[in-house]
Structure 1
Amino acid sequence: MTVAPCAPEAAFSPIVFSALDTGPARDIEPLFAAAGSYVFSNASAFRMDEDVPLLIPELNPDHCALLPVQQAKRGWRGAIVTNPNCTTVMLAAPLAALQARFGLDAVMVTSMQAISGAGYPGVSALDIVGNVIPYIRNEESKVESESNKILGTLVRNGSAASVVAAPFVVSATCTRVPVIDGHTLTISVRLKTKASLEDLVDAFRTFEPKTAAYDLPSAPSRFLALLAAEDRPQPRKDAEEDGGMRITVGRLRTCPILDFKFVSLGHNTERGAAGASVLNAETALAMGFVPSTV
């Protein structure tokens, strides 16, 4: 392994995967993009910038159309593409199926997030074993805002493009639990239009990812799965499905306060981080937004 300074003149590559913390990412990623690299970032530094795609390829691959706008605005030869917070992925996936069919008005979500999501060295064993930590710094604000951008509508005006955020509201509580891998979310939703439980079952089971035609190497064989068993999904049994790239939903039922509630699960370091970034790169390349010569 060769270790080099984190600067384009020392380690240039046409495609760069960034797992930097937010502060360094804000300084370093633009240097690579300006030098001509396409930076696929797991950092939150640029996620909410209006000209930066916040990508879940199965849901919003058309948002890659922001890349030429980004390049023109910033004078870069390359560009930055971001993937969402690891928890947002497990939320946005099932919401997309419901938004497309019924519209969404309000969402309440509580996350039970695995310790691997805290990185290395992570959470002290004395803090997490036999315990739940009911606070993760800056996590809730990310979950509350990112799904709206991901599920927003791309609007084109000549050579310009922008995303109009989806109008539903999200209220999030994020917790850390003693699970190694796999984030579990309990989600309650209020829909825009009336629907039955059977309608939601059909919406989840028939949801088609928008990348199906591209045959992407890292894409799961099944993006969104609905389980009927009352005690599923579980991190130990379901997080690794499809190489950790599948989102699994279960415990779908009516909600006495909102309309419906369910559980969503995904692998936080595969679907929620490294695997997501690789899939973003495959998508941008397949759609022609990254030159095939790279």
Structure 2
Amino acid sequence: MIDVGVLGATGAVGQRFVQLLEDHPWFNLQTLTASERSAGKPYGRVVNWRLDAPYPDNVSDIVVTPTTVESLKDCDLVFSALPPEVATSLETEIADAGIAVCSNARSHRMDSDVPLVIPEVNPDHLGLIDVQRDRGRDGFIVTNPNCSTIVFVLALAPLRAFEFHDAHVATMQAISGAGFAGIPAMEIYDNVVPYIGSEEEKMETETLKIMGKFDGSEVKPAPFRVSASCHRVPVIDGHTMAVWVDVKEPVAEVKKAYATFKPPFSNLPLQPAKTIELFDQPDRPQPRLDRNRGRGMTVSVGRVRDGLRFVALGHNTIRGAAGASVLNAELIHSRNYL
């Protein structure tokens, strides 16, 4: 078993990490960190559990520690749900101290020697771990993309079989993406907010790194353009997006690419039976009906039409955040980096 910790364990993504790591067959959750006001107290006393999944009682007695390198000395791997202003320096210190970091924070995603990974799309980018180690780092940092980027790129991945130059996406993003206290009710109720700070820039840059080519020392960005428009809608979980891509092949060929898409690995614990679920119904996918497919790890695609136009959907705090990091860690472990 690999001894692991969760950094920022009381927040929205931190709680999702704790839930997904309960009884994990490879990872032994032993360390939970949070702010100074929670440190020194059992997790069960300080966490305000708000997920739609049962609270895992086996973590209640774990005493929360402050988020320091010293508090993580017994961990082989940590999952970071830290805010970026904290993650930037602290994740670096942790990796330099010889601990592996799988981060959901945006701080290091675009660093040239840090893998930005979706396992089904660019597992070869884990080669950047060797680049970090060659530069003298004992541990390493691996990041997962922004929640909307993950859904978008997984929906694009089967289209790599075809030629395209432009991808346009309009998102309808759930309120849980802003955290438990992220959006006041009077702002989002009966409303659509047509702006999410820096979200569009993340989608437009992260996508090109993920789908770029790793040459053994660096990643060359993918040679297409992305244009994103991001919107917050009154849905609790599940990011929906309308996508336009200049693929010229017939819709039947595109649907076949989706239906036959398989990841380049198997038997990872959190891996869903289907990475992509393709719908033929004209009114699917929908967040309330489809966000939990594959235990929240499946991305759903539907309304595939000439143009090429389609709708994609994924669970933003599972597939788009904590679940993405855990799947990254499983891939890392399966490739003997730990």
**2 CA distance for matches of 1:203 and 1:242?**
19
**2 CA distance for matches of 1:150 and 1:104?**
16
1:39 positional shift: 0.3
Alignment-derived partner of residue 171 in structure 2: 111
1:278 equivalent to 2:278? Answer: no
The one-letter code of the counterpart of 1:168 is F
1:104 positional shift: 2.2
**2 CA distance for matches of 1:144 and 1:136?**
14
Identity rate of aligned residues, in percent? 48
CA-to-partner distance for each residue in 1:250-271, whole Å, 9 max, x for gaps? 001013xxxx100000000000
**1 CA distance for matches of 2:245 and 2:227?**
10
Alignment-derived partner of residue 249 in structure 1: 301
**2 CA distance for matches of 1:267 and 1:178?**
15
| SS of residue paired to 2:154 | helix
So what's the TM-score if we normalise by structure 2? 0.80
**Unaligned stretches of 5+ in structure 2?**
1-61
- Which of 94, 116, 131 is residue 32 of structure 1 equivalent to? 94
1:43 equivalent to 2:91? Answer: no
Alignment-derived partner of residue 67 in structure 2: 6
In the TM superposition, 1:157-196 aligns within 5 A as: 161-191=217-247, 194-196=248-250
- Residues paired across the two proteins, number: 276
Alignment-derived partner of residue 96 in structure 1: 157
**Is the CA contact (8 Å cut-off) linking 1:7 and 1:31 kept in structure 2?**
no
1:68 positional shift: 1.0
1:96 positional shift: 1.1
**Is the CA contact (8 Å cut-off) linking 1:182 and 1:268 kept in structure 2?**
yes
| SS of residue paired to 1:81 | strand
1:106 positional shift: 0.1
1:279 positional shift: 0.5
**2 CA distance for matches of 1:89 and 1:263?**
14
Alignment-derived partner of residue 268 in structure 1: 316
1:138 equivalent to 2:198? Answer: yes
**1 CA distance for matches of 2:163 and 2:157?**
9
| SS of residue paired to 1:23 | helix
1:204 equivalent to 2:252? Answer: no
The one-letter code of the counterpart of 2:132 is Q
| SS of residue paired to 2:242 | strand
**1 CA distance for matches of 2:243 and 2:87?**
31
| SS of residue paired to 2:219 | strand
**Is the CA contact (8 Å cut-off) linking 1:184 and 1:264 kept in structure 2?**
yes
**2 CA distance for matches of 1:143 and 1:175?**
13
1:124 positional shift: 0.4
**Is the CA contact (8 Å cut-off) linking 1:5 and 1:11 kept in structure 2?**
no
**2 CA distance for matches of 1:122 and 1:210?**
36
**Unaligned stretches of 5+ in structure 1?**
none
So what's the TM-score if we normalise by structure 1? 0.92
**2 CA distance for matches of 1:106 and 1:26?**
32
- Which of 150, 168, 184 is residue 124 of structure 1 equivalent to? 184
The one-letter code of the counterpart of 1:88 is T
The one-letter code of the counterpart of 2:137 is W
1:289 equivalent to 2:308? Answer: no
**Is the CA contact (8 Å cut-off) linking 1:111 and 1:174 kept in structure 2?**
yes
CA-to-partner distance for each residue in 1:237-288, whole Å, 9 max, x for gaps? 0000010000000001013xxxx10000000000000111111000001011
CA-to-partner distance for each residue in 1:171-229, whole Å, 9 max, x for gaps? 000100000000001000013xx4111110111111111223xx100000100111000
Higher RCO, Cα 8 Å, sep 6+: 1
- Which of 277, 285, 294 is residue 233 of structure 1 equivalent to? 285
**2 CA distance for matches of 1:248 and 1:225?**
5
1:81 equivalent to 2:142? Answer: yes
**2 CA distance for matches of 1:289 and 1:154?**
18
